[in-house]
């Protein structure tokens, strides 16, 4: 099962621009994580934000969490061609036996 939706499904931008991806989920969560996946490869963990946090930064990444709206956003600033990948949000819920459920993902393409 999937927890929720991500939008956009695909995003194409120029190098140097910012990329914003959104994620919505359905149930109460312990935390929300963002992962990156290059085509045909494994997952790379980007950032984790806990349910009592509203914003978190890591390098060029900024994540926000709005538990009242059950939504999160990932902002990548000053994008690079190397940022081209699929990005997934994933939620962990204590009611789900600490399972991690992934969103549908956003495919980001950064043009050089």
* 59 belongs to the binding site for another protein (CB under 8 A): no
Q: Under the criterion CB under 8 A, does residue 41 sit at the interface with another protein?
A: yes
Quick check: 56 binds another protein (CB under 8 A)? no
**Shortest CB 53 distance to another protein, Å:** 15
Q: Which of residues 64-93 bind another protein (CB under 8 A)?
A: 88, 90, 92
Q: How long a stretch of residues is the chain? A: 112
Per-residue b/e over 36-58, b at no fewer than 16 CB within 10 Å? beeeeeeeeebbebeeeeeebee
Interaction between residue 34 and another protein (CB under 8 A): no
Report residue 11 as tokens. Answer: 């995003």
């Amino acid at each position: 099962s999937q927890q929720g939706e991500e939008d956009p499904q695909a995003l194409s931008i120029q190098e140097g621009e910012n990329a914003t991806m959104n994620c919505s989920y359905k149930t109460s969560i312990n935390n929300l994580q963002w992962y990156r996946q290059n085509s045909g490869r494994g997952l790379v963990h980007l950032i984790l934000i806990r349910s009592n946090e509203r914003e978190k930064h890591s390098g060029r990444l900024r994540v926000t969490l709005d538990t009242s709206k059950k939504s999160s956003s990932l902002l990548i600033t000053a994008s690079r061609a190397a940022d081209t990948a699929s990005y997934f949000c994933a939620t962990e819920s204590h009611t789900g036996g600490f399972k991690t459920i992934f969103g549908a993902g956003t495919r980001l393409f950064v043009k050089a």
